[in-house]
Structure 1
Amino acid sequence: MRYERGGDGAGCGVFGAFVLALMLGIALALWWGPGLRRVASAPGWPETPARVTASAVVSHGRHIQNVDVIADVEYEVAGTIYQAYALEIASWVDPSTGAGLRPRVGSALPLRYDPANPARCSLVHAWSSVHTWKLSISLAPWAVVLLTLPVLVWRFRQATRGVLITDDE
């Protein structure tokens, strides 16, 4: 006996995957994109000393405990003083390592800034495996979007010709 599905649900599985991947891809691009672009650009930027005004070790992760080391800094470029808040120093590190990476208030750190916009800066000067993971995770939903889009286009063309397509076929 063959199970027959009721209703008109043709394409909901593929369409649902497309919409979910699209929303996730946009969210991750907005969340991680600016930081990844900044880290990728920073090696070519000029360097200046920055004074730490505050620093913290922020823990995250429910099952595997990791921390981010962040700092608020103040720096000067061409006579103008800039302030930057919550700049990443280290990300996804072991809590014991993170505590040792936390800079003291008043200490100096090398900071790189964008010469076109000195307010844009980075304390991370090199691409690391953490950045590669973030980029890979950010690109994965876009791969799903690219894989499901041709299927959706094909199904739309078939539907406009009057051909009913179900997920059972």
Structure 2
Amino acid sequence: MLTVEEFLAYSIHLEAEAAARFGELADAMENGGNKEVAELFRRLANYSRMHLADAQARSGFRDIPKLEPQDFVWPDLESPESAAIWGADPMLGRGEALQVALAAETAGHDYYKSVLDTTDDPEVKRFAAAFVAEEAGHVAELKKWIAAHETGKTGTAD
């Protein structure tokens, strides 16, 4: 990641896709009667929307490159934080849904961490560090949910 503008273009795309996918997962869980996990997925979608708004606000006065979906180079086929589409299966169990969310948030964290570790630009480092910290919080929250689920607790892990 060579410039802040490139970082912001990638972040805007990544967070928009994550918000959309978590919204789809929330809808699927709600339709399947799993209201607690639906609420969690909605919370994660909202986190992604907040990150998106932050990236958009930071890009306000900058000339952000207009990239087409095929122009993005991701570590995998999709942007890192796009939860697996099969996670929208309404028959998905609670534990599986939580694992889908954890995988997406971990991939988002790892992506921003790789940017932080490889960029030489101090401003990109500062932005990436903030995104790493936020994603780490999401990963930690999901691990609490999974631990609660594995001990038979229902509802939130808060």
Same-fold call, TM > 0.5? no
Q: Write 1 or 2 for the structure with the bigger share of helix.
A: 2
Which has the higher Rg, Structure 1 or Structure 2?
1
Question: Which has the larger strand fraction?
Answer: 1
Q: Give TM-score, length-normalised by structure 2.
A: 0.31
TM-score (normalised: structure 1): 0.29
